[in-house]
Structure 1
Amino acid sequence: MTSTSKWNEKQLVENRLIEQLEGMGYEYLHGSSLDAERETRNDVILRDRLTRTLKRLNPWMDENNTQKVLRSLLYIEATSVMEANEKFHHMLVNYISVQQDLGKGKKNQTVKLIDFDYLENNEYLVVDQFSITSPQGTIRPDLIVFVNGLPLVIIECKSPLLNGSEQIGQGIKQLIRYQDEQERLFHYNQFMVVASNDRARAGTIGAQAKHYGLWKDPYPLTAPKIGDSPSPQDILTAGMLSKENLLDLVQNFIVYEPEGGRVIKKLARYQQFRAVRKAIDRILYAKSPEDRGGVVWHTQGSGKSLSMLYLAVKLRRLEALKNPTIVLVTDRKDLDIQITATFRRCGFPNPQQAAGVKQLKGLLSQGPGSTIMTLVQKFQEDKETSTYPELSTSENIFVMVDESHRSQYKGLAMNMRTAMPNACYLGFTGTPIDKEDKSTTATFGPYIDKYTIEQAVDDGATVPIFYEARLSNLHVHGETLDQLFNRKFREYDDETREEIKKKYANEQAIIASPKRIEQIALDIIEHYQTHIKPNGFKAQIVAISREAAIMYKEKLDELSDYESAVIISGGHNDEPGMKKHQLAPDEEKKQIEKFKEPFSESSLAFIIVCDKLLTGFDAPIEQVMYLDKPIKEHNLLQAIARTNRTYAKKDYGLIVDYYGVSRFLEQALGIFTKSDIQGALKPIDSEIPRLQSRHRVAMNYFNYINQSNAEACVQALEPEDVRNEFETAFKRFSESMDMVMPNPKAQPYVENLKFLGKIRQLAKSRYREEGMDITECGEKVRQLIADHLYASSVEVLHDPIDILSNKFEQKIEQAESEEAKASEMEHALRHEIKIKMEENPVYYSSLKEKLEELISSRRANQMEIIDLVDSLREMVQDMREKTQKGEEHGFTREQFPFFQLLKQELAEENKEEIKDLTFIVTGIVQSKLVIEWTKKEDVKREMRSEIKKKLRQKIEHPKLEAVAQQLMDLAAVHFKK
């Protein structure tokens, strides 16, 4: 055996993971050794182990209640997998209640399934090749982690020898298939892991690939303590599956949040878990009460609200904190509503939102155990005394302040600290400040945890933000304005000039001039129409004043068909013209929700603001911010981060600057260390080196090939692994082109992009690759390629010609060579076999074997190309005549596959008897047909039972079940109703 024979998924990934878990105290067993512990192969809970655990953790519980608890776990009543999963999680972390008399009458008693307080009081088991069988088929996950007999974690391993871009994606596809085929297993699953040693990600049920997250920090361990040069898989395993962290994640870091009419299960990201654990460690082990506080700096878009929720959950559960009071403080009403809603949606018990100044004082005075949400503005002094009262001297109060930089250096914050002098203050921010007069860390204490802009982009938690300055001739700089004014009014004295300037010639007046706004509005419309709208994204315009915001709205309405909405605050003395653009709270909320929806649901493309929605506003569909207002310091960083949220096919956010905020940006970034804000904004030019590199990779597939010979280029993509690699390279190249176009620096690559798009489309047609579709490219790139393909007479969006169509022969004859004819027929046959295999597995399996024999003979030079073409023609003809052969035996198209299957299984039987049996079996199927019968277990059970009765006379017992299932599978394909 060569050394490379050990380079496989089992050795490189699965065994390595098992060994690491064993080193962490897990027991390892092979799946087959657990068969004796299961009543059927459909069991996903290890009943004996769970029963033993129930008795050990709850020694007071009698046998009747033990069986009752077991039944409630085995049979969870729910209408969906997610509902069952949520119910089980509730039972796991909040325990089950049963009635039993322990000597003081019959009372509700709490039943533990897991001992979260004493880690070693549980059983941890990792199992490989654990087979689970149901009517939908059999699955065999690579690894399952059982705790006390409950299957809490599923791990899918993929070979690191696969293409790097496919390793995680293939594993996630498999996990999604498992969820479709074996729902009961996922009633109990807490999270799933996909690992290939070099890569590892984790996600929850229902999650698509983009929602699977990295785990880059094994906190509280450090990477060197895991081993020399630990892989991403090693780090994830140590960080998520150590006994302590696994139980902590399950108990405190999973929430179920309703979103868009469905429930989303959310698992903490590594930075959220780390920040909460660090905060708890500081709270529990600080040298003094004053040292308990600090700052969590996690860049915007990385989930601060959920971090606060996870911390609140943990604070509430820790016995050492003795039922603390938790106060959440924000400085904006929309943030207060958002965080309160997050807590309520995620099932946090009874968060109370302070409705006013007086109610807040009452809530803070009511003693331990409360969760209070409030605006900092509600810490107002009494008008009579001008002082704020002390409301609680308890040290058992934890105050979490969101966006702690904005309002924590003034009188209201002082009042808050007067009200709760001994509380622990924890600041959460995306943009902390460190200046002499305002300092986040000086106010709250040292940093607890940092998660910077660049880390978030690297992890895919946010997208990078590009910066582009436009219409520089329209920029207004203060010094230029002063010089212009002084020349114009030079005959006036200094005092008079200053009065005129204040009244008529301030910077805001010139920026908001109608002529200037019209010019910018035209530029915005053209830019949006060309670069943003084609990919389905939306835009925010930031104006210098409410009047300017309204002008932008009017110009957009006048000059374009795009729907827009102005979101501005109202004033008591506003003119009628201003008031008509102010929305009532309900209407404003409705417009914001419309803006967040895709264009298929809402045509609202622009939202125009002045101050509102610059911070604390999440609209992932927003890709661009058109900025025409001077914003400084943290407000500027907060504003630009509106574009960094992740969204389908969104690779970057964009700031288009009409004011000239780059000088303010430098000042804003200057308050941080360089490493903290690295990557905050990138000029478009920064994408050019990556574009050049991706261009080289994509073009390398056609080195040493005459690129004018399309057939030779298509042949270069014949191996499936090469096609897959080329597909990834092409998508990355087109992604960079979409970012840079129409910047002139993209021009040198346009012809190669057209060439690659053409070859890609020809390969799609030849090799029947449905996934190779230019609709996955950015719209700018897609349109460029589509136009070129039409000009080149290449079919773009049509399926390959059906092998049974008369046009197929014409297409074969158009091939330039015998090799091209053979290639076209080979891949047409492969495509036909692939899509028809379910219809007639016997016939198409035989056809597949014959095809492979022919291709192998040709590759071994045992067959001339002309003979291969003739043999392939015969196979095509045989496929066309298949229906006719069935009719010759007296069968319909639906019955013939049943006959071929039974003939294969009953090779010794008389053909006439097999024909009779075929009619009997298909007759049973047809007699049981009802609407959607394939989804009705009772109908399928009865149908299978009758088929087995008829087969017993002919087929031996060991094969009976398998043949009956194959016949049922055929019935599901051919007799749908």
Structure 2
Amino acid sequence: MTPISDWNEKELVENRLIQQIQEMGYQVSDGPSLDSERETTSDVVLRDRLRDAITRLNPWLSDDNVHKVMRSVLHIEATSLMEANQSFHTLLINYMSVQQDLGKGKKNQTVKLIDFDNPSNNEFLVVDQFSIKDAKGTIRPDLILFVNGIPLVVIECKSPLLNANEQIGQGVKQLTRYQIEQERLFHYNQFMVVTSNDRARAGTIGAQAKHYGLWKDPYPLTVAEIGNDPTAQDVLTAGMLSKENLLDLIQNFIVYEPEGGRTIKKLARYQQFRAVRKTVDRIVHAKTPEDRGGVVWHTQGSGKSLTMLYLAVKLRRLKQLENPTIVLVTDRKDLDNQLSATFRRCGFPNPQQAKSVPQLKELLSQGPGATITTLVQKFQEDKEAVSYPELSTSKNVFVMVDESHRSQYKGLAMNMRTALPNACYLGFTGTPIDKEDKSTTATFGTYIDKYTIDQAVDDGATVPIFYEARLTELHVQGETLDELFDRKFREYDQETREEIKKKYANEQAIIASPKRVERIALDMINHYETHIAPNGFKAQVVAISREAAVMYKEKLDELSDYESVVVISGGHNDEEKMKNFHLKPEDEKKYIERFKKPLTEDKLAFIIVCDKLLTGFDAPIEQVMYLDKPLKEHTLLQAIARTNRTYNKKDYGLIVDYYGVSSFLEQALDIFTKSDVQGALRPIDSELPRLETRHRAAMRYFDYVNKSNSDACIQVLEPEDVRHEFETAFKRFAESMDMVMPNHKANPYVDDLKFLGKIRQMAKSRFREEGLDISDCGEKVRQLIADHLQASSVEVIHEPIDILSSKFEQQINEAKTIEAKASQMEHAIRHEIKVKMDENPVYYASLKERLEELINARKNKQMDILEYYEALREKIDGMRNVTKQGEEHGFTREQYPFYQMLEEQLAGEEAEEVKDLTFIVTGLIQSKAVVEWTQKDDVKREMRREVKKKLRKRVDNNKLEYLTQQLMDLAAVHYKK
């Protein structure tokens, strides 16, 4: 058993991970033992191991070509980290070619860096504490996984003793810093892992913490096969880092997708990897061709299009499938365009989109190796044809049908199967299959993989969707419509009433009545203004008809300043008024792109639809759907999922129901298996218990304190660990308040939210915590707190007051007790040290040491509070005199830190000689410091060389390198241009 004294990051996380990886067949080494294999400490590739692998995997390669291959790997030409990373990934998985004569003349020959077909034919090495050092500094990642000498995975381990909510975030922050400081390491990186044993996530270069994904399934292993009660780290390691899975992920499950003017590297989520592997296993091991098909149900918003892409990549690479034909089928034009665009953007080779019925037949007849996207509607018979023709009898055709529940059981689907009788049919859907519907499974086969609504929310792949009914007196529910009509026309006889109803009183006419639309539009504007717009999100309105959609647009224009657009299909017989709202395809595309932009960039806030954009439409910025149309079954689930995409600071999606869907919701959801649709919609009231719990968790810090005594409340938050715990509790409480406000059910908690916001802000000022701000709260909460702070005459301080400022003394004097004064001074000194350490490391390192001695003396009761206060006052006076001391020696503010550095390192030298050397070194640096010199390697090298030359005669060799680097670091701070 590990003794408590060894409960640290190394023992609890890193060593456990190394042991598990070693058991999976990796070699283990530590960084220092590999230094002999590196030419310099800046090398990130283990060259000898790479060279050995290249010659072993390609024994026919000449020495010259081995050199060329090595050079291609070691010197990647690119203008950015992402470009270099993508370039190397392409080289790695598609192999490279060199010209060489193997006996039949000089031809291009393929060279492997890694043998993806036989994982055990590669060298897998895990290395801890591998230092990479150059002029920019030194980084030492906890673990790096090398395959054939190439650093493919970087792992950052964090202590499980850290605050649970900071473990992953701190690890990602460190990895982000590594990417800036040692970019070359990440030219080769395929993905990164952050783990604290209890929590583990994986992400790619450039990703923020929120984009690092869980890995909950170690497929093809089960969780039980890993061991008893495995941790998140154990599961991720087994699922991502086993030799076979690691190479599979690298080869088939990474894509680079252009998005918003930049490239994003995407790594498969665990459910995508699992679904593709299960599908391939079924195809390869099926007893008969008919058994190969099946259904993949992954809930809306969880990356279904990318799953189809990963599967296509995998099928294309399987040698036993011998270059298959892949057909992607949808039943809506926007979905077809979206799928084609996804494949094209991600670099999939030459997907061909069928533009017409004849072209589809032509594409399906062209033989193996094609990738074709089409609408199912293009499987139409010619008018003169008796039946649809057979176009290919090959078994090597794989048909992936998107949203497979909708249109696959009618005549068009029959035509598809007539055209491709021996194809393997794979159904993909974002909604579950009806319990009573046997046709889907009969058509495609049984479920291959499920990823439910609740699982997606739990993983953070989607946000939960809340449901709220508005204006109940305006609901038009199916079963009450007759009753409503009969009351209105009660003076007419039954026969006449039926005639009137048939002609004028259909449901659509009542729902689209101008007065009703106007009333709802006004409510919608008020709701959007108070609930949605403050946080910068956008809205979708679903009307019952095209005419109603236009009416909503007119009312929004009349009653508000919010910009809106109607996206509807045009009819040939439309009146002139309707034709004004017809959009050309290119204009519709522009409006959709505008809608997806942040509200600060584009004011288009509402998109109004009838049938369009209810499926296959991804706009993560959409938070609310105003629903005024009867939707049922799959259509209902697909429509509401427009609001469940994740987006920065978006904690939930919202359906506001003006039609009365709630009365049919249970009936609609009953046709699905209960567990499959659990959590599809949640009443807004369902957040109240969590709000109450989070409120209690935040308020408990002040249970035994007089809440009217601000000093006493702030003092509760003095210990750093308590502050961080309180910060987490406050943010969670604020998040729940943002979901519920301004609903009246949030009212009981508003005063406490204001109180906590005030104490939090004052703690920020007292303890110099820049991180304690309210910018990351929802705008409604932020505004409430900000207004309260101003109303309470609390100065909202965004930057702590500098010790050298005259305001600092004023702030100290305003503190009511000696304890509060000392606390402010202590934290002010801490802040000054943190901010100015780089400016003068000798002085501030010494000051830090003396401050810690004082704090420990106070803790151990070796001095009373008055003595402590006086000692802190002395330190502050000393800090104010530093610049003055430099001037007394004849130095400028910039030069004095150089003198102190040289004085410390050249102990025993005459003071005048150290002064002279200071003037020489700083003068040399000033003469070399051109504009942006810190970004120019050649200038830095020249400056470093000259500084070292001046030091060489006076400094011991064992100190020379260190001192030169310290002076260069100071130069970068004080003489940066």
Q: Per the shorter chain, which TM-score range?
A: over 0.9
Deviations 1:461-502 (A, max 9, x none): 000000000100001123332123345556766665444322
How far has the Cα of 1:743 moved from its partner?
2.4
Letter of the aligned partner of 1:177 in structure 2?
R
1:661 aligns with 2:632: no
SS in 2 for 1:598: coil
Q: Structure 2 matches for 1:52-71, cutoff 5 A?
A: 52-71=52-71
Contact kept in structure 2, 1:633 and 1:664, CA below 8 Å:
no
Q: Structure 2 matches for 1:302-701, cutoff 5 A?
A: 302-434=302-434, 436=436, 439-489=439-489, 497-701=497-701
Equivalent position of 1:234 in the other structure: 234
1:148 aligns with 2:148: yes
Distance in 2, Cα, partners of 1:759 & 1:477: 49
Distance in 1, Cα, partners of 2:551 & 2:511: 12
Deviations 1:277-326 (A, max 9, x none): 00000000111100100000000000000000000000000001011000
Contact kept in structure 1, 2:435 and 2:673, CA below 8 Å:
no
Equivalent position of 1:262 in the other structure: 262
How far has the Cα of 1:6 moved from its partner?
1.6
Distance in 2, Cα, partners of 1:453 & 1:435: 17
Cα gap change, 1:545/1:944 in structure 2, threshold over 3 Å: closer, same or farther? same
Deviations 1:713-752 (A, max 9, x none): 1111111111111101100011011111222322222222
Contact kept in structure 2, 1:404 and 1:432, CA below 8 Å:
no
Distance in 1, Cα, partners of 2:460 & 2:871: 51
Deviations 1:201-255 (A, max 9, x none): 0000010001000000000000111001111100000000011100100000000
Equivalent position of 2:873 in the other structure: 873
SS in 2 for 1:385: coil
Distance in 1, Cα, partners of 2:287 & 2:242: 28
How far has the Cα of 1:694 moved from its partner?
1.1
Equivalent position of 2:297 in the other structure: 297
Contact kept in structure 2, 1:400 and 1:425, CA below 8 Å:
yes
Contact kept in structure 1, 2:467 and 2:684, CA below 8 Å:
yes
Distance in 2, Cα, partners of 1:764 & 1:488: 64
Distance in 2, Cα, partners of 1:966 & 1:949: 15
Q: Structure 2 matches for 1:35-114, cutoff 5 A?
A: 35-114=35-114
Equivalent position of 2:859 in the other structure: 859
Equivalent position of 1:837 in the other structure: 837
Deviations 1:313-341 (A, max 9, x none): 00000001011000000111111111111
| Root-mean-square deviation (Å) | 1.3
Equivalent position of 1:283 in the other structure: 283
Distance in 1, Cα, partners of 2:5 & 2:484: 79
Q: Structure 2 matches for 1:93-242, cutoff 5 A?
A: 93-242=93-242
Structure 2: runs of 5 or more not aligned: none
SS in 2 for 1:394: coil
Structure 1: runs of 5 or more not aligned: none
Distance in 2, Cα, partners of 1:783 & 1:490: 53
Contact kept in structure 2, 1:214 and 1:459, CA below 8 Å:
yes
SS in 2 for 1:258: strand
- Provide the TM-score with structure 2 as the length reference: 0.99
Contact kept in structure 1, 2:432 and 2:676, CA below 8 Å:
no
Deviations 1:344-403 (A, max 9, x none): 111111111111000000000011000001111111111112421111111100000111
Equivalent position of 2:827 in the other structure: 827
SS in 1 for 2:479: helix
How far has the Cα of 1:800 moved from its partner?
2.1
How far has the Cα of 1:110 moved from its partner?
0.3
Deviations 1:503-557 (A, max 9, x none): 2110100100110011001100111100110011000111111111111111111
Contact kept in structure 1, 2:765 and 2:797, CA below 8 Å:
no
Contact kept in structure 2, 1:631 and 1:664, CA below 8 Å:
no
Q: Structure 2 matches for 1:696-711, cutoff 5 A?
A: 696-711=696-711
Equivalent position of 2:770 in the other structure: 770
Moved more, 847-856 or 369-378: 847-856
How far has the Cα of 1:2 moved from its partner?
8.8
Query: Percent identical across equivalent pairs?
Result: 78
How far has the Cα of 1:784 moved from its partner?
1.6
Letter of the aligned partner of 2:556 in structure 1?
L
Deviations 1:403-462 (A, max 9, x none): 111211211111111110110000110113326567422321100000000000000000
Distance in 2, Cα, partners of 1:487 & 1:661: 23
SS in 1 for 2:733: helix
Contact kept in structure 2, 1:357 and 1:379, CA below 8 Å:
yes
Equivalent position of 1:814 in the other structure: 814
Contact kept in structure 1, 2:435 and 2:672, CA below 8 Å:
no
How far has the Cα of 1:58 moved from its partner?
0.2
Distance in 2, Cα, partners of 1:420 & 1:494: 56
SS in 2 for 1:774: coil
How far has the Cα of 1:926 moved from its partner?
0.9
Contact kept in structure 1, 2:623 and 2:643, CA below 8 Å:
yes
Contact kept in structure 2, 1:432 and 1:440, CA below 8 Å:
no
Contact kept in structure 2, 1:553 and 1:564, CA below 8 Å:
yes
SS in 1 for 2:775: helix
Deviations 1:642-661 (A, max 9, x none): 00000000000000000001
Letter of the aligned partner of 1:253 in structure 2?
F
Letter of the aligned partner of 1:803 in structure 2?
I
Contact kept in structure 2, 1:434 and 1:441, CA below 8 Å:
no
1:33 aligns with 2:17: no
SS in 2 for 1:776: coil
Distance in 2, Cα, partners of 1:771 & 1:492: 71
Letter of the aligned partner of 1:179 in structure 2?
Q
Distance in 2, Cα, partners of 1:215 & 1:479: 47
Distance in 1, Cα, partners of 2:495 & 2:385: 42
SS in 1 for 2:206: coil
SS in 2 for 1:28: strand
How far has the Cα of 1:858 moved from its partner?
1.4
Equivalent position of 2:784 in the other structure: 784
Distance in 2, Cα, partners of 1:958 & 1:700: 56
Distance in 2, Cα, partners of 1:912 & 1:164: 54
Contact kept in structure 1, 2:35 and 2:41, CA below 8 Å:
yes
Moved more, 271-280 or 840-849: 840-849
Distance in 2, Cα, partners of 1:189 & 1:2: 33
How far has the Cα of 1:19 moved from its partner?
0.6
Distance in 1, Cα, partners of 2:234 & 2:297: 27
Distance in 2, Cα, partners of 1:226 & 1:488: 69
SS in 1 for 2:193: strand
Distance in 1, Cα, partners of 2:965 & 2:505: 85
Equivalent position of 2:889 in the other structure: 889
Equivalent position of 1:938 in the other structure: 938
Equivalent position of 2:5 in the other structure: 5
SS in 2 for 1:606: strand
Distance in 2, Cα, partners of 1:799 & 1:70: 51
Moved more, 885-894 or 222-231: 885-894
Contact kept in structure 2, 1:549 and 1:610, CA below 8 Å:
yes
Distance in 2, Cα, partners of 1:502 & 1:438: 36
